[in-house]
Amino acid sequence: MKLILVIAVCLIGASHQFRFGGWQTSDANSETIKDLAQVATEHRNSQINSLYYRTLVEIKSAKQQVVNGMKYELTLVLADTNCAKQDAGAKLCPVGQGAAKEECVYTIWVESTKEEPAVTSSSCTDL
C-alpha cells in the first residue's frame, strides 16, 4: 500500500512539474511577496551609506522553497528618492528624476516557528 502511495505522489508531482524541496515561482503581486519586498527595501536602506531613502520600483521576480518554513528569493529594482531617510514620509516619496537604480536579489527565510522574516543574503548591482 505504501509503495502505491509513493508512486501516486511521484506521478502527481511529475504531472504538475513539482519538485519537493525545489524552487517554485511565486506570484509577484501577492501580499506576502509585497510584504517581503518591503522587508528587503528596509534592509537595504539600513545597509547603505546614503542620506536619501531608497524605494521599491519593481518586483521583477519571486520564487519560494519549502525549508522548515519558507525561503523566498526576490529580484527587485530599487531607486533613490529625493527624501532623506530620517524624513517621516520618506517611504511615500517618489523616485527622483534621473535617480540611480539598482537590481537586488534577496533571500528571505520565514521560519515556521517565528513570525518575523530574516534576510539571509542579498546582493545588488547598479543598473
pLDDT at 78: 98
pLDDT at 115: 81
Q: Tell me the pLDDT tens digit for each residue of 76-87.
A: 999 999 999 999
Instruction: State the average pLDDT for the chain.
Output: 87
- CA dihedral of 91, 46, 124, 98, whole degrees rounded to 10: 40
Residues of the chain scoring pLDDT < 70: 1-20
Helix (H, G, I), strand (E, B) or coil at 58: strand
CA pair distance 16, 108, nearest whole angstrom: 25
CA pair distance 104, 79, nearest whole angstrom: 11
Which domains can be identified in the chain, with CATH numbers? 24-83+93-126 (3.10.450.10)
pTM: 0.81
